[in-house]
A and B are shown apart, each in its own frame.
Chain A
């Protein structure tokens, strides 16, 4: 039966020809090979997000009057609704974690080198999009914590010179965070971002296909001089099966977290209530949030906030363009990038821990 379907497809689309590159595709095997799984796991978590997101859309209502109640309804009345929402929240967080880990592994293995500059750029854009997903999705349950976090977060966007004010109004759908903001964020979260992300993922994966998987430079040189020590694994089925096992483990971790530590809902946002103590954004924004908190009100003649926002903006832009600073892959530039990478990891971890400890 399966063979007949296959023949039918082959006759019309040249199936065998289409998947021939997949058969020939190989994955290098060396002691850093396990880092190759992170991108795939991130993709898998994205697929989980699409699936659970669609499920949540069956009951969620994007309006200030109904959003909180509809999520409450999902969590208390709909069967397994608590699980679906919990998985969506956890998978979102894990996806950002694996995306960061993937980015840093590519950075330290220097896999962004020529010809893979655009693979890096598309990946960085995907990381920014993931943060956008997190930011916009955080507001959707319309609870107190999210309401104030978004208020602060969009206010920070207002510090951007020249376009700040316009940006705030664009994000909030007005001067203040209101039901209009919720409607916008809902649109961003379920239509705009998924559309762009899907296209970029297609590009990102196509580029990985086109260039093959990067091998660390030292190994590359070694394999070139001594081809007999070169080790590879066929992508299909050897690597794919391993990747699927990694997905399976990720799913196990995700299910355990979602079931044992269900995501809380909190209390409904009240636009006129004072902000409760301990307002902080999701952990992946915490290092930026904490930085803005510790910056003095005025640094020389610039506002502390403005300086922080500019610094993070510039940092993000430099990070995006990182491969273009490592042109020849030797000496100074390489040292700088390595140093910047270590500094960034240390800074993010330290500021995040500080943010949690500071209360």
Chain B
């Protein structure tokens, strides 16, 4: 550190020149601002998590024939999100998105009502995914089900 007061050595008229002073302030302020931005920018970028690749599945084996009794359902993994597979009383398979359209809870099958039910806010869907009661604003996306041998395959309808 300089023990002498360096400002005292600068001639008075130079030290008080408003143009020089403003220029110095501009340089100092601009430099500090640029530094601050160069620190904040990486931090902001860092805070945003890298996009998780959607596993991109359009087709998944949701279970095996005989896993489900009639009038029951189960949640299966469809890519990164859950889906729900239901075996109706008539022996038909139904599959749809397992994510409630209201606030993203995972739904379940209610055998007593023969409906898909979301426990979080008491939302109901019928077996075609239509939102029939409670707060859900939209139907659940319906998937296609094929039975191939012993496997129950669920397909997402692209462009549907």
Contacts and interface: CB of A to CB of B under 8 A. Distances in A.
Interface of A: 29-31, 33-34, 55, 58-59, 77-81, 83-84, 231, 242, 248, 251
Interface residues of B, number: 11
Interface of B: 1, 3, 35, 42-43, 45-50
A78 B49 CA distance: 6
Nearest to A79: B45
A63 to B, nearest CB: 19
Nearest to B45: A79
A55 B1 contact: no
Q: Which 10 pairs, one residue from A and one from B, show the smallest C-beta to C-beta distance?
A: A80-B42, A79-B45, A77-B50, A80-B46, A29-B3, A33-B1, A80-B45, A34-B1, A84-B46, A83-B42
Contacts of B48: 79
A29 B42 CA distance: 39
Contacts of B42: 79-80, 83-84
A79 B49 CA distance: 8
5 contacts: A31-B3, A55-B46, A55-B47, A77-B50, A248-B35
A311 B143 CA distance: 73
A242 to B, nearest CB: 6
Contact of A33 (B3, B35, B49, B50): B3
A80 B42 CA distance: 6
Given A77-B50, A78-B50, A79-B50, A242 B45 contact: no
Nearest to A77: B50
A84 to B, nearest CB: 6
A30 B45 contact: no
Contacts of A58: 46-47, 49
Nearest to B50: A77
Give the interface centre of B1, B43, B45, B47 by most chain A CB atoms within 10 Å.
B1
B3 A30 contact: yes
Given A55-B47, A242-B1, 8 more contacts: A30-B3, A33-B1, A58-B46, A59-B49, A78-B50, A79-B45, A79-B46, A84-B46
Contacts of A84: 42-43, 46
Contacts of B43: 55, 80, 84
